[in-house]
Amino acid sequence: MRPLFKKILLGLLGLLLIAQFFQPDRSAPAADPARDMLALTNAPQDIRDLVTGACYDCHSYATDYPWYAYVSPMSYIVQDHINEGREHLNFSLWDKYATDEHAAEAGEELQEGEMPPGYYRLMHGHGRLSDADKQKLVAWFNANLGGGEAGAEESGEQH
């Protein structure tokens, strides 16, 4: 049984090595700064830092890929999460998403701990927001991204 185990292990190792030659498409269109949410809302620097650290890797074209995003099969998982995040809300195309329901719910999702996701916070220190930073960002999102009182009224009707 030992030689069979060795062959299986070597086969899997070989497949993993070959998989490194196949990577997902990480291309993103050139971002137009004039369409970016932070520019269009004239966000203060502290908000820019928080949003860039906690949101922009998955919700913009300004993704900063970590080293493990280049190792298959993890590369496909990371890129899938990024593509999904951009599909729901893309801060680089703010003129397109500004009136979208996901934009209005950004503060609520942050407040409820849905964003940034736990796996992201685990792997990225800048994604771990202190309670004070989270409250500051939630308040800013609600005031500037369409959440706020309208979102609170809708939530009140549902309860």
Q: In this structure, what is the dihedral angle of CA atoms 129, 74, 89, 62, given to the nearest 10 degrees? A: 80
The per-residue b/e assignment along 29-66, b for 16 or more CB within 10 angstroms, e otherwise, is eeeeeebbbbeebebeeebbebbbbbbbbbbbbebeee
The answer to whether residues 49 and 107 touch, using CB atoms and an 8 Å cutoff, is no
Residue-level pLDDT at 66: 87
- Domain assignment of residue 46, yes or no: yes
- Domain assignment of residue 19, yes or no: no
> Residue 84's domain spans which residues?
29-154
Answer yes or no: is pLDDT of 40 > 50. Answer: yes
DSSP codes of every residue in 24-90: -----PPP-GGG-HHHHTT--HHHHHHHHHHTHHHHSS-----GGGGSTTHHHHHHHHHHHHHHH--
- Domain assignment of residue 11, yes or no: no
Domains contained in the chain, number: 1
Q: Which of 148, 74, 67 is nearest to 111 (CA)?
A: 148
Q: What is the pLDDT of residues 22-34, one digit of tens each?
A: 888 888 888 788 8
Residue-level pLDDT at 143: 86
- Domain assignment of residue 3, yes or no: no
Take residue 53 and report the two structure tokens written for it: 């650290």
Answer yes or no: is pLDDT of 149 > 70. Answer: no
- Domain assignment of residue 14, yes or no: no
- Domain assignment of residue 94, yes or no: yes
- Domain assignment of residue 72, yes or no: yes
- Domain assignment of residue 127, yes or no: yes
- What is d(CA 115, CA 137) in angstroms, rounded to the nearest whole number? 12
